[in-house]
Chains A and B, each alone.
Chain A
Amino acid sequence: MRLVAEADRCVGCQNCMFACARRQNEVGLSKACINVRSIGGLERGFIGVVCRACDDPPCAKVCPTGALKLRAGGGVRLNINKCTGCGYCSDACLIGAIFWDDEINKPMICIHCGYCVKFCPHKVLRLEKKEAIEHAQK
C-alpha cells in the first residue's frame, strides 16, 4: 500500500504531520515525514510533501551504502545502521520528501503505514494498492 494525496481538498490543518510524529511515539513536528505547506500563500491552497512511492526511486539508486531498499508495496525502507547520513538521497528527491533527523543526522522517510490517513479530516490522504510497474523491463 502506498500513501496518495488529493491536495486540492487540503485545508492545511497539518494534523497529518502531528499524527506522523505520534505514530513514532513522539510529540511535535521534528520527526514528521510529511509536510503541508501553502503554494505561496494560503489563498492558493496547499501541497502535501511526502514520499510518493516512485516506481524506481532515485533515493535508493543513489544510496552509496545500500541503506535504502525498495519496500514491498511501494516506497523504501531505511536500514539506519548502514546509513552514513551522506544526504545523497535527499539531494536526489526532487519533491523534497526526504526529511532530515537533525539529532542523528539521518534521513526520515514515510513508510506508507497510513496512520496519518486516520487523522486527515477532509479525505485528502488515502492508502492505495500500488500497481506493479516494472520500469526496468520496459
Chain B
Amino acid sequence: MLKNDPLANILYVDLSKKNFWVDNRQDLFEKYIGGTGVATQLLHEECPKGCDPLNAENPIIFAVGPMTALFPLASKTVAMFKSPHTGNLGESHCGGRSAIAIRMAGYGAIVIKGSSDTPLYLAIHGNRVYFRDASSLWGISAFTVGRIIRENEHGAGLRTIMRIGEAGEKLVSYSCVTTETYRHFGRLGLGAVFGSKKLKAVVVSGKRSLPISNIKQYRKVYDEIYQAAVTSPAMKKYHDLGTAENILPLNELGGLPTRNLKETRFEGASEISGEKFAEHYLGRRIACTHCPVGCIHIAALREPYEDEAYFYKTSMFSYDYEPIYALGSMLGGSDTKGILKLMDQVETVGLDVMSTGVILAWATEAQERGIISGKETKGIKFNWGDYNAYINAVRLIIEQPNEFYKTLAHGVEHAASRYGGEDYALSFGGNEMPGYHTGPGAHIGVLVGARHSHLDNAGYSADQKSFLAKKQNSPEELAESLLSEERWRQILSSLVVCFFARGIYKPDIVLKALKSAGFDLAIEDLNRIGEEIHKEKYRFKIREGFSLDNLRLPKRIFETPSPLGKLDEKFIRETIEYVKKTLSTVGV
C-alpha cells in the first residue's frame, strides 16, 4: 500500500476511560487489504476468548478498504464484533455514507472498546473525538435520534450517523444499527452491543485528499469502472425496481418462503411485488455515497388520522426484497399498507427486519398449533397477515413484560428451545433464515457461511444455476462452489465494494484498481488472501465453540418442496462434510 495512505491509521476509542489514540497498522492492511480481512484480525486481537458479547470486553470494529473513496461502488463498511445473537462471529455490512465518512475522517478502521456508565454518543470529526452525553437521547427512536444529532453536529453531506433505537438499548439480540435513516448494520445484533456499552450513536465526518500511485492511470481505471456501473445490465435491476424485483420470479419458481415456510408460493405475491410497490408507493430513490446506481427505494405512505378529517401524515420507509419477504409472504400478509406500517415499527425500534419476520412467523405457527396461548402472548392473537397483532408484538418484544417476550427478544432458536416447535423454527447457525427456499444450496450456504448470511456465498444462486441447468450438483461440487464464492467475497468485502457490484469488480478490474492504491498483487495473491481471511474467520468461530458437526436443520425445510424438489438431509449433511474436509486441508 502507499506509505502515506491514512488507511493504515486505526482509531481506538475506549468508552470506559473516555480516551482515544491512533495506531499505524500498515502491517494489517498490507497483509489483509482492509475491510473484513483487517476487521477479522482486529477481532482476534481485541475480543477475549469466551467473552460475554454484552460485556465491556467485546469490541466494536468498523473497517473500510483501499478502494473506499477511490472508486465508485466501494461504499460499504464492515462491522465486526462478537454476536449476542449467535454467541459467535458477528459481522454485518452497511452502506449509506458510513464508508466514505470513515475514510475521509482519516481512518481505515475504528475500534470501540470498553463501556460507558451513562448514555453517550461519539462524535468523530477527523482527528478529533468527542464523548457527548446522550442521557437526553436514551429511549428515543432510531429515526428521531438521527434528526437530533444532525442538528447538533457539523459536516452535513460528509458524515454518517450510526445509531440505535430502543431495541439496542433493551439488548434485543437481533437489534440493528441504523445509518442515514435507511441503511443498516442489520444482522447479528450490533445494536445490542451498542446498547450494552450505553453507546447511542456514532457520528463520523471528514474531508481530505488521498494519495494515489499514478493519477493518469487511476483516472483511466476509474472511468472504466464508472462506465461499466452506469451501462451494465447487471446493475440495472438494482436501479429500476430494486431487489424487490425478485418477489415475482421467486414466487413463480416456488422458492418464496410463505407462512413460515409451510409453502413456497404466495397467493398474494403480486400484491407485494416490486412492481406493485413501485406503482403505488415509490416516492424517491437514493444512493449510498459514491455509488451511481441508487438502489435504495423509498416508499411514501400516506395515512389519515382517524380523529380528524382531511388530516394526514406521510411517512417514508425503505423497502427491499428481504423486508418484503420477512414481513410479507413469511407472515402471509399481502396488505402492503400493513407491511409498511410494521416496517415502520421495526425501523423505529431498530430491529433486524429479517429476524423479526421469521420470529413472528414462528410465533404465529406456534399459536396455531397450540404450543403457546394468549397467556404467553398477553392476549395477542397471531393470525397470518394480521398486522395490528404483529405491530403490537414488536412493541412487546421491546418492553419484554413477561417470559415469552423476553424469550422472543433472543431469537427464534432460543424461543423454540424454551417452548418447543424446533421443527419449524427457521434459523440456520443461530440466525433467522433469509428469503430463499430455492434448494439445498440456500440453506447449506447460510449454515456454513462464516456469518450465517445468504450473502456469504450466495447459495441461492448455486441453486438457481442448478435449476437452469436442470442438473443438481453433487455434494462435493456444491461444497466447492460455495467455498470458492465465499473466499472471493472475502476479497470484495476487504476492498470494500458492494456485493451488488460483484459483476463489475471481476479479478482483472480489482487488480488494476488495487494497483492505483499501491497494492501490487496478482490473481494468485487474491485467491490466497481470500482463503486466508476465510480461514481466519473460521479460526475465530471454532475458538468460540462453533462446529460443523451436528448443525441444527429445522425439519420444515425437508417437508416443503423447493424448486429443486424435496430436500434430502443426507445430501445436505454430505455437503457440509465436504466443506469440513476442505477446510481441514487448509488447517481449520
The distance from the CB of B242 to the nearest CB of chain A, in whole angstroms, is: 12
Q: Which of B30-38, B245-253, B279-287 contacts A (4 or more CB under 8 A)?
A: B279-287
Q: How far is the CA of A38 from the CA of B96 in the complex (A)?
A: 12
- When distances are taken between beta carbons in the complex, the residues of chain B under 8 Å from A88 are none
> Is A43 in contact with B284, judged by CB distance below 8 angstroms?
yes
The contact string, 1 if C-beta is below 8 Å from chain A, for chain B 210-223, is 11100100110010
A39 CA to B180 CA, complexed, in Å:
13
> Which among B208, B230, B288 is the interface contact of A30 at CB below 8 angstroms?
B208
* A81 on interface, CB distance cutoff 8 Å: no
B146 (CB) vs chain A CBs: closest residue:
A41
**Cβ contact of A12, chosen from B230, B287, B316, cutoff 8 A:** B287
- Chain A CB within 8 A of B586 CB: no
A70 within 8 A of B: no
The answer to whether A28 and B210 touch (CB under 8 A), given A13-B291, A15-B72, A121-B294, is: yes
Q: Are A122 and B294 in contact (CB under 8 A)?
A: yes
- Nearest chain-B residue to A29 (Cβ)? B207
CB distance from A44 to the nearest CB of B (A): 8
Which chain B residues lie closer than 8 Å to A13 at the CB level?
A: 287-294
Chain B residues contacting A15 (CB-CB under 8 Å) are 72, 226, 290-292
Closest CB of chain A to B211's CB: distance in Å? 8
Measured between beta carbons, the chain A residues less than 8 angstroms from B215 are 25, 27
Q: Nearest-CB distance from B517 to chain A (Å)? A: 10
Contact B182 A121 (CB under 8 A): no
Chain B residue numbers with a CB within 8 Å of A37 are 156-158
Most chain A beta-carbon contacts within 10 A, residue among B72, B209, B288: B209
Contact, CB under 8 Å: A43 / B294: no
Measured in the bound complex, the distance between the Cα atoms of B180 and A43 in whole Å is: 10
A29-53 to B contact mask, C-beta < 8 Å, 1/0: 1110001111011110100010000
Is B69's beta carbon under 8 Å from chain A? yes
Closest Cβ neighbor of B72 among chain A residues = A15
A36→B104 contact, CB < 8 A: no
Q: Which of the four size classes fits the interface of chain B?
A: 35 or more
* Contact indicator A27/B210 (Cβ below 8 Å): yes
Contact A22 B157 (CB under 8 A): no
CB distance from A123 to the nearest CB of B (A): 12
Contact pattern, A 89-106, Cβ under 8 Å of B = 1, otherwise 0: 000000000000000000
| Interface residue from B104, B294, B316 paired with A28 (Cβ < 8 Å) | B104
* Residues of chain A with a CB closer than 8 A to B210's CB: 27-28
Taking CB atoms, residues of chain B closer than 8 Å to A25 are 215
Chain A CB within 8 A of B150 CB: yes
A27 and B219 alpha carbons, distance in the complex (Å)? 10
Decide: B286 and A42 in contact? CB cutoff 8 A: yes
Q: Is the CB of B290 within 8 A of A18?
A: yes
Complex-state Cα separation, A123 to B476, whole angstroms: 49
B147 within 8 Å of A (CB atoms): yes
24 contacts between A and B (CB under 8 A): A11-B287, A11-B294, A13-B294, A14-B289, A15-B72, A21-B209, A26-B209, A27-B212, A28-B69, A28-B208, A28-B209, A29-B104, A29-B208, A30-B207, A31-B209, A36-B157, A40-B147, A42-B180, A42-B182, A42-B298, A43-B182, A49-B157, A119-B226, A122-B294
